[in-house]
Amino acid sequence: MPFFDFHCHPGLKPQFSDPETKPTPWDYIDARLSISRNLKLQINKLFNEVLNSQSNLTQLIEADVKMVGLILHAPEQKIGRALAEKSITNKGRVNLIDSRRLAYLATGEHSYELIKEELNWLLNAIPARPDTKLKLLTKKSDFNEADSHTVHAAIIIEGLHCFFDDPNEANAKETYLKNFNEFTAEYTVLSINLCHMQQNQFCNHAHGIQFFNAAYFYPTRNGITAWGMEMITLMMNKKILVDIKHMSLKSRWQLYTHYNSNADNRFLQPLICTHAGTTGLSIKDRVKYVLKKPVDKGLVYEITYLKPQSLHFEKIYHNCSSINLYDEDIENIILSGGIIGLSFDQRILGFADENVMPGLTVPHDQEYISHEEADFFLGPQPTTLPVWTEAANVWTTEEFENLDQSLYSEMHRRFLVNNIIHILWVAGNNASINLQEAAKQICIGTDFDGLINAIDCCKQVTGLKQLKKDMRTDVINGLSKISGSAHVIDADELLDNIFYHNGKNFMLKRLMEING
């Protein structure tokens, strides 16, 4: 069976390499630690898995991934700076990462150049097999489902910052708009994220990066800016969708209000989230599982959450950080006619990352809320929020410490299924939503070849076929727990749709609306 991936990055990792020697997007990346001129040593398992290829173009064809959201992304200034500060990279020990390239990225003056360079490289690199190719989709008729040697791709831009040259120059906005209009006139762009990991000029972001200096990536602003609203209008005029991933909760709520100003569910255009996880919570419960009092860090409050237990599976939990979707986010996306792509990042899906706070073994998640949004998110007295003191309904230290690592693959698969079932549960509880239609608004958005720690049951795109097969029993069990769903949703049809048909149909419909 063919597959669809709404969010994959076959061209991201080589952007950190020496441009003269970087691998092509058709090559498998094998990141290694250099210990001498003629000797390479494989680096630790986790780092190696994160840096190695998860969805290069050859892998996509081998896995029969017929259609993708092709992500173009200019690594942000502070990503370059933060990577350069890691001793394993600044000493030149990883052959994939070039210190001169990191310094180039750290200037923050080349974003537009970087996405054009990435796209040109993706389109013109010589395939590993001469009969294979990458094809950009402009209109519906460009897609040939019978062609098993082509990756069909629609462009998605991860971050409005990608159209900047030097953001600090006197005429930065004028140049920015020239770049934006030039690119979107030449290429069909399906969607754009307003923001990404670093503070930007358009809207406040949700904190979402864990292994660098957190202060580099603090979200310090308040909702969507005036320029951000201008760009939303410009995108709508060009029929470009907003991908809500990475937006702060307040920014998302402003967007929903703008798109559905009369609260009549007549949205101005569909909302999408290409690579999502779910919090398992309503927005009103967003600070219910706070582990300790918020810490005032100056511009932001540091929030540490326990991991709430799933409503649908025993010993399965959620990441309730605000980068993930609350129940109301899910409702707005579905009611707008949009679609949710499921990330394969194990942390986003809810699995525990014991490395976030050294020495704290209770499973938890951590984020930062800007002072400017604190009243909206935390209330008038953030440092006096009550903390969760019960042992029930959260992942406990004892349970976590007694985990059998040989079961991680099975657990990760169930965490993924839990996110699917929760979306359907939310849909089924809303009288304005048709559950069968909502089941057609979920797809796969792996984030492969990004910088994610992928689920053990599917470390790369070639594992999709086995994963889909292995999910069947858990999907059947999950559907049986949603009132009425087992009678209207067939598990096999649901899996076929989530792994292929839903995303393909949404993308083709959107292309037809844009260009016919």
Whole-number Å distance between alpha carbons of 89 and 127: 29
Whole-number Å distance between alpha carbons of 110 and 76: 10
Give the Å distances, CA to CA, from 12 to 19, 417, 494.
13, 27, 31
User: Has residue 363 got a pLDDT over 80?
Assistant: yes
Token code pair at residue 45 = 């398992």
Closest by CA position to 256, among listed 365, 185, 330, 351:
330
DSSP-derived 3-state class of residue 117: helix
Q: What percentage of the chain reaches a pLDDT higher than 90?
A: 82
DSSP 497: I
| Residue 84: per-residue pLDDT | 86
Whole-number Å distance between alpha carbons of 390 and 406: 29
Whole-number Å distance between alpha carbons of 133 and 125: 9
| Residue 196: per-residue pLDDT | 97
| Residue 289: per-residue pLDDT | 98
Q: Of 7 and 451, which is predicted with more confidence? A: 7
Largest separation between any pair of C-alpha atoms in the chain = 66
User: Has residue 40 got a pLDDT over 50?
Assistant: no
Strands (E), 166-223: 189-193
| Residue 41: per-residue pLDDT | 40
Whole-number Å distance between alpha carbons of 102 and 18: 9
**Residue count (the chain):** 516
DSSP string, 435-456: HHHHTTSEEE---BTSS--B-T
Whole-number Å distance between alpha carbons of 498 and 504: 10
| Residue 37: per-residue pLDDT | 46
Whole-number Å distance between alpha carbons of 273 and 241: 10
Q: State the distance between the two ends of the chain, measured CA to CA, in whole angstroms.
A: 27
User: Averaged over 303-317, what is the pLDDT?
Assistant: 96
- 209-252 residue pLDDT tens: 877 889 999 999 999 999 999 999 999 999 999 999 999 999 99
User: Has residue 265 got a pLDDT over 50?
Assistant: yes
Whole-number Å distance between alpha carbons of 72 and 155: 7
Outline where 336-463 has alpha helix (H).
346-349, 374-378, 397-401, 408-428, 435-438
DSSP string, 192-206: EES--SS--SSB-B-
Residue 490's Cβ-count burial label (10 Å; 0-12, 13-18, 19+) is middle
User: Has residue 50 got a pLDDT over 80?
Assistant: no
| Residue 88: per-residue pLDDT | 60
- Give the pairing type, strands 300-306 and 295-296: antiparallel
Q: Which helix (H) or strand (E) holds 234?
A: helix 226-237
- 91-100 residue pLDDT tens: 555 667 888 9
Which residues, at least 6 apart from 121, have a Cβ–Cβ distance to it below 8 Å?
11, 14, 24, 25
Q: 366 near 291, Cβ under 8 Å?
A: no
Which is it for the CA torsion 26, 30, 31, 33, positive or negative? Answer: negative
Whole-number Å distance between alpha carbons of 354 and 248: 24
The pLDDT confidence band at residue 42, using thresholds 50, 70 and 90, is: very low
Closest by CA position to 134, among listed 149, 118, 146:
149
Q: 312 near 481, Cβ under 8 Å?
A: yes
Whole-number Å distance between alpha carbons of 379 and 66: 47
DSSP string, 255-281: HHHHHTTTSSS--SS--EEEEE-B-SS
Q: 236 near 268, Cβ under 8 Å?
A: yes
| Residue 38: per-residue pLDDT | 46
Whole-number Å distance between alpha carbons of 443 and 501: 8
Which residues, at least 6 apart from 160, have a Cβ–Cβ distance to it below 8 Å?
192, 193, 194, 195, 200, 201, 202, 228, 231
| Residue 209: per-residue pLDDT | 86
Average pLDDT over the chain, rounded to whole?
92
The pLDDT confidence band at residue 176, using thresholds 50, 70 and 90, is: very high
| Residue 488: per-residue pLDDT | 83
| Residue 91: per-residue pLDDT | 54
- 115-165 residue pLDDT tens: 999 999 999 999 989 999 999 999 999 999 999 999 999 999 999 999 999
Domains, the chain, with CATH or none: 3-515 (3.20.20.140)
User: Has residue 208 got a pLDDT over 50?
Assistant: yes
| Residue 102: per-residue pLDDT | 93
User: Averaged over 317-341, what is the pLDDT?
Assistant: 98
Token code pair at residue 261 = 């100003």
Token code pair at residue 171 = 């005429």
Beta-bridged to residue 36, according to DSSP, are: 39
Whole-number Å distance between alpha carbons of 131 and 126: 11
| Residue 87: per-residue pLDDT | 65
- 66-106 residue pLDDT tens: 999 999 999 999 999 988 887 666 555 566 788 899 999 99
| Residue 516: per-residue pLDDT | 74
